[in-house]
A and B are shown apart, each in its own frame.
Chain A
Amino acid sequence: MKNTPATDLAPVAKRPTPSGGFQAWLPRLVLAPSVAISLFFVYGFMLWTFVLSLTSSRMLPSYDFVGFGQYARLMQNERWWVASTNLMIFGVLFVVICLAIGALLAILLDQKIRQEGALRTIYLYPMALSFIVTGVVWKWLLNPQLGIQAMVQSWGFESFRFDWITDPDMAIYTLVIAAVWQASGFVMALFLAGLRGIDDSIIKAAQLDGASLPRIYLRVVMPCLRPVVFSAVMILAHIAIKSFDLVVALTGGGPGYATDLPATFMYAHAFTRAQIGLGSASAMLMLGGVLAILIPYLYSELRSRKHG
């Protein structure tokens, strides 16, 4: 019998081939709950949300199918377009500025700096905070009456204005500031790890050729860091699409719905505005957005695994 029950194993002290029988199934048995969880809670739920997005559900899920009607409504929903446009602005600025600051700080820190450890710790600590804490702090700093604006005005610059958080056209940029504050140190850490992994002899060779330091970084070092840039972009874009807590804490989506993002749009419609069908459709579009950046990433990861 191949499938020996577990109790039979006990008296046999040293079986010659324990890899057969029950032991061979044990790893699969151990993995089974996780696979089941993943199939149900990840794949099943995605499918379930998709099904809900095809229904007219409002307060409670109902299974009255209306085809792609909710998606059509979404496309005509002005607030959804504001949220999507905001995600574009926020996402692009957040990723680009984080990359620029992260790369700059990593390169500067790589110049045999005293106290490098302390500086690194300071640059990175915001990443340990909750986005809610970040939002609460920056809301305070950006408060026109008591925050940075008031402080600079009290220094004598009476005409200084920094009231973006109350300005519907500028509020989206306050999200960028707070998110960059939180995540750019992390990008610095990624780049620094990448820089430390580069073979010194390449840089030495370029120096012997008479290349200047900025030129070496631009032409020799940066191309070596392409995988790091790629990973950083993936991770940052992912953070941007999922951004929910920061908006809730910093602007509450306002003024009006000027700083809505798809994540807050989805939550508002599914949980507070009794628009489950519409909320589900917006969640599916968010998933589509993540897949659009994820699939090229996984593809290149798998390819480099096979080659390396």
Chain B
Amino acid sequence: MANVIRRQTPAARLSRGLLYGVLILAALFYILPLVVMLMTSVKPLSEISAGSLLSLPQNPTLAPWTKAWGEACTGMRCDGVGGYFWNSFAIVIPAVLISTTIGALNGYALTKWRFKGSELVFALMLFGCFIPFQVVLLPMAQTLGWLGISSSRAGLILVHVVFGIAFTTLFFRNFYVGIPNELVSAAKLDGAGFFRIFWRILLPVSAPIIVVSVIWQFTQIWNDFLFGVAFSAHNTQPVTVALNNLVNTSTGVREYNVDMAAAMIAALPTLVVYVLAGKYFVRGLTAGSVKG
């Protein structure tokens, strides 16, 4: 094996070159919009109208970023997307923690404490992953009103938990199915209870699936627009709604650099998560769709 000399024929070299050419072209297709977005966000307006998309910024400035963060108009108010950025965090963090905890306990109960009808319970809950949310919008609006939490962050957290647990339960159930039952049975014989077994046996090995679930829920809820636009008021909007309002606010000159800076701000948290934990991100996306 080691002393095989790789001698390439011209034809092989050509096809190899072609292969890399196509792959690099594809990479450009995916990366260029991000590059353009970043470059536009640091150009002064004069450079945008004079230059073209791919011209490098001559006098890079962070002014569009500070304007997008603190001054740009989103609808009626002109205080940037910064506040909405923190709104998104205030909604996302509790919703992710609650839905992941519930999903973990559900997955554990469904796999290690099977009872008559537990498969049916799972199938019943799984359906929640697939419904188009348009079908729950109107009743949800009314229910949030009855609960006295319409247009509040608490209301949005509730909505995201309610429609997130179908996914988190799916993740944890599929993960715990693969954990051998012997340890759990032995612990049961020793008299350990439901929560003790979970705490001592399941939780210590759950790190990968917790990461998958947290990342999935984080990106889903951070990127949500439909619930955000339907169930928030101006002071409880998530950043996606604020971004859309900013871009569509038609007062004065269109400031494309500010638009792009705001888009970058809205995109950064999920991009950071993707760069840091891409492997788990892919695993969440493909959960259940590729059978091993």
Write the residues of chain A forming the contact surface with B, with a CB cutoff of 8 angstroms: 9, 13-16, 18-19, 23-24, 26-28, 30-31, 33-35, 37-39, 41-42, 44-46, 48-49, 52, 61, 101, 104-105, 108-109, 111, 113, 119, 121-133, 136-141, 146-148, 150-151, 154, 181, 185-186, 189-190, 193-194, 197, 227-228, 231-232, 234-235, 238, 241-242, 244-245, 248-249, 252, 262-263, 266-267, 270-271, 276, 279-280, 282-284, 286-287, 289-290, 294, 304, 308
Q: How far is the CB of B58 from chain A (nearest CB, A)?
A: 16
Q: Can you identify 9 A-B contacts, CB atoms within 8 angstroms?
A: A26-B193, A27-B115, A119-B23, A132-B266, A137-B36, A140-B36, A154-B52, A248-B225, A252-B248
- Residues in A with CB closer than 8 Å to B127 are 38, 42
| Residues of B participating in the A interface, judged by any CB pair closer than 8 Å | 19-20, 22-23, 26-27, 29-31, 33-34, 36-37, 40, 48-49, 52-54, 102, 105-106, 109-110, 113, 115, 118, 121, 124-125, 127-128, 130-140, 142-143, 162-163, 165-166, 169, 188, 190-195, 219, 222-226, 229-230, 240, 243-244, 247-248, 256, 259-260, 262-263, 266-267, 270-271, 273-275, 278, 281-282, 285-286, 289-292
Asked if residues B33 and A141 are in contact (CB atoms below 8 Å), the reply is yes
A151-B22 Cα distance, complex, nearest whole Å: 23
Q: Which residues in B have their C-beta under 8 angstroms from that of A242?
A: 132-133
Contact A125 B271 (CB under 8 A): yes
Bound complex: CA A189 to CA B280 (Å): 13
Separation of A245 and B134 alpha carbons in the complex (Å): 12
Main SS class of interface, A: helix
In whole angstroms, how far apart are the Cα atoms of A71 and B212 in the complex?
A: 41
**Are A44 and B48 also in contact (CB < 8 A) when A133-B266, A189-B286 are?**
no
CA distance A189 to B270 in the complex (A): 18
Interface pair B191/A38, CB less than 8 Å apart = no
Q: Are B194 and A42 in contact (CB under 8 A)?
A: no
Chain B residue, CB-CB nearest to A60: B142
Distance to closest chain A CB from B219 (angstroms): 6
Task: Determine which of B23, B163, B275 lies in contact with A108 in the assembled complex, contact meaning CB atoms within 8 Å.
Answer: B23
Given contacts A131-B225, A139-B247, A227-B291, 13 further A-B contacts (CB under 8 A): A18-B188, A30-B106, A31-B110, A31-B118, A34-B169, A39-B124, A101-B26, A124-B278, A127-B285, A140-B259, A140-B260, A252-B248, A290-B130
B279 → chain A, closest Cβ, in Å? 10
Q: Is A284 in contact with B135, judged by CB distance below 8 angstroms?
A: yes
Of the candidates A24, A111, A270, the one whose C-beta lies within 8 Å of that of B19 is A111
Q: Does A190 lie within 8 Å of B192, measured CB to CB?
A: no
| Chain A residues, Cβ within 8 Å of B143 | 41
